[in-house]
Chains A and B, each alone.
Chain A
């Protein structure tokens, strides 16, 4: 049931064909029934006319015969009566025509005994007809079934008459006409009608199905091809024939596919141009930068020979070249993200080790200001080491820059599928208004303050892109004067997703403000 039902639901052809076939069945059955009734009634009425006419003339002739017979002797009367009842039996060509003669009940002086022809049983004449016939001398008729003594039966019309012969008494006289011929005609007609109706329904079904297939076919093709286009096969086109509405659909569809392909290749070209540009900028800027850097190092090497202000200039030159270079590196990285040209180089690495390494890199001194809280000595994950290292260094550097003399907590937590690293400081923090623009490029919470720190202003925005590239998340929480909390959550294995957050970005014991609840 359910597969048929689902076919019905999913296929327009099945649904429409089914509906049309059902409606055809109803209409053809109705028409057939009406036609059948009309025709079978007509055939019956014709037979009835003939039967009544024949019965009336037969009754008259019998009346005459009996009236003549009453002047003869008893034996002759008997013979006449036998003759009346001696009717030839039904054959294939002659339908049954039986007669029955009954004396009125209570009439004593009857010369002729009651009787029927061809062993027809008395009960073949319905009681109601016999009552009617006895009531008045007019002709009566009724449908009945002839019952023979040997058990045969036949549909028939019985026509009744009164026959009154003075001195002999009154008789009921019936002629019963078999309807076998009419029945077989009607049956033949009914068979033909059902056959024709059946064929018509099948024909209607087939034609509907075929026409719909022709109409729906292109729609189906369009749907299939649209799916393939979506899947990325931009060379799929519809097969267009003729110039009708369906062909127009095909043309329009193909034009759309061509436009789509052009648009996509245009975007691809743009992306390629962008990548080319990035690589050209990289080459063109880096070569003079190398020369400048080497020259500055030569100058710096002999700064002891300079006067103090020139020597300091050499120092500034060196440090600003470093800054320029990191800005260049960050800008190129950002433009690689924009061109969707960033490539992951995934390796299996120990994340705890990487966090330790990053802490040591950012804060190499012996002074312990960073507490590392890790659940294990080693957590192996599939990540791009360079990118994750870059995120960690950025987060830890930010925490150190804004810690206001407080310690920093770096927490690692894991479950089966994801690992999270939280970097929490208890320093100046930031307002929830600032949180919205925290990951924007070149955004600074306090321009006057942050500018002096160096840094490119691109760190957090790159960190966010790196996290996204890993299918991970980077969240931030902050409260003015209560510190900040950054949580990086990564899938442990390549192709995984972040389905849970082992570290909540809102630190324990910190209340959510109404606004933050709204934003979450």
Chain B
């Protein structure tokens, strides 16, 4: 059974989230304080974390950073502020997606489904992008013989680009492909995650060779061997 850890200091909202998620067939673990997350995380090893930004004990963004040091688990931030700074801070700390309060339960469930979707079970093997080999079965990438760990979302993003090497993906296209349904205007998600992904897979994030920017359009996969 899929375990979702809900971290929110608002007891009523946490309980409501529990009702909705349990109703959809998930197992739910509720945590009320930011500084209690890590111990609970180690104990429960959840499949996804729903994380509020404003938390007692420890800020949600800090919690997010801490989780990322030990796990690549999908993290969805819950933010009461639609303000760019908070959203970007959460995404840069390693969150995969975010929901702005107040949200619909149906929208939340749809998002979680996408984040929990198993990728890499497709038959395509030996996928590569630039000089990076993507092992979809082992769910990892290998660059220069080294295994580089990626979050599931980063992996999905890289696979999406690698599957169609010639195609230039607009930010909107990547949004619907990788994040599922999103308002088309919310391209910050794409920008921040492309930056995070580049910092992991590129030799020099300032001069990307694997994920190339197409000015005014979007992104595309680098050509094999172009970086040799």
Contact = CB atoms under 8 A, between A and B. Distances in A.
A290 B19 contact: no
A371 interface: no
Interface stretch (B10-18, B26-34, B141-149, B200-208): B10-18
A386 B83 CA distance: 13
A279 interface: yes
A293 interface: yes
In which size bucket is the chain B interface? 20 to 34
A283 B80 contact: yes
A348 interface: yes
Contacts of A291: 10, 12-13, 16
Contact of B102 (A289, A343, A345): A289
A282 B100 CA distance: 11
Given A288-B12, A291-B10, A291-B16, A283 B102 contact: no
Contacts of B185: 385-386, 389
Contacts of A295: 16
Contact of A293 (B54, B83, B102): B102
A298 B83 CA distance: 29
Nearest to B10: A287
Contacts of A398: none
A279 B81 contact: yes
Interface centre among B10, B20, B101, B185 (most CB of A within 10 A): B101
Interface centre among B54, B80, B81 (most CB of A within 10 A): B80
A293 B104 contact: yes
B103 A290 contact: yes
Contacts of A297: 20, 104-106
A287 B84 contact: no
Interface in A233-269: none
Contacts, number: 57
Interface in A381-402: 385-386, 389
Contacts of A282: 80-81
Nearest to A321: B102
Contact of B80 (A287, A321, A325): A287
A286 B79 CA distance: 9
Interface in B18-61: 19-20, 23, 54
A203 interface: no
A196 interface: no
A294 interface: yes
Contact of B19 (A286, A298, A385, A386): A298
Interface string A284-311: 0011111111110110000000000000
Interface centre among A290, A291, A325, A348 (most CB of B within 10 A): A290
B110 to A, nearest CB: 13
In which size bucket is the chain A interface? 20 to 34
A287 B8 CA distance: 10
A294 B17 CA distance: 8
Given A287-B101, A290-B103, A343 B80 contact: no
Contacts of A292: 102
A348 B102 contact: no
B81 A290 contact: no
Contact of B23 (A283, A288, A293, A298): A298
Nearest to A324: B102
Given A287-B10, A294-B17, A295-B16, A325 B102 contact: yes
A343 B104 contact: no
B126 interface: no
**Chain A binding surface, main DSSP class:** helix
Contacts of B19: 294, 298
A282 B81 CA distance: 7
A294 B103 CA distance: 8
Contacts of B13: 287-288, 290-291, 294
Nearest to A332: B82
Contacts of B16: 290-291, 294-295
Contacts of B84: 343, 345
A291 B216 CA distance: 40
Nearest to B85: A343
Contacts of B216: 348
A291 B101 CA distance: 9
A470 B80 CA distance: 27
Interface centre among A293, A294, A385, A386 (most CB of B within 10 A): A294
Nearest to A297: B105
Contacts of A386: 185
B105 A286 contact: no
Contacts of A279: 81, 83
A424 B10 CA distance: 48
Contacts of B10: 287-288, 291
A240 B168 CA distance: 67
Contacts of B17: 294
Given A294-B20, A385-B185, A283 B81 contact: yes
B197 to A, nearest CB: 22
Contacts of B104: 293-294, 297
A386 B184 CA distance: 11
B129 to A, nearest CB: 27
A303 to B, nearest CB: 15
A298 B105 contact: yes
A351 to B, nearest CB: 15
Nearest to A343: B84
Nearest to B54: A283
Nearest to B106: A297
Given A288-B12, A291-B10, A298 B20 contact: yes
Interface in B57-99: 80-81, 83-84
Contacts of B23: 298
A282 B79 CA distance: 10
A283 B10 CA distance: 11
A519 B54 CA distance: 50
Interface in B98-129: 101-106
Contacts of A287: 10, 13, 80, 101
A444 to B, nearest CB: 26
Given A290-B16, A298-B20, 5 more contacts: A282-B80, A286-B80, A287-B101, A291-B12, A293-B105
19 contacts: A282-B80, A286-B80, A286-B101, A287-B10, A287-B13, A288-B10, A289-B101, A289-B102, A290-B13, A291-B12, A291-B16, A292-B102, A293-B102, A293-B104, A294-B13, A294-B17, A294-B105, A298-B23, A348-B216
Interface of A: 279, 282-283, 286-295, 297-298, 321, 325, 343, 345, 348, 385-386, 389
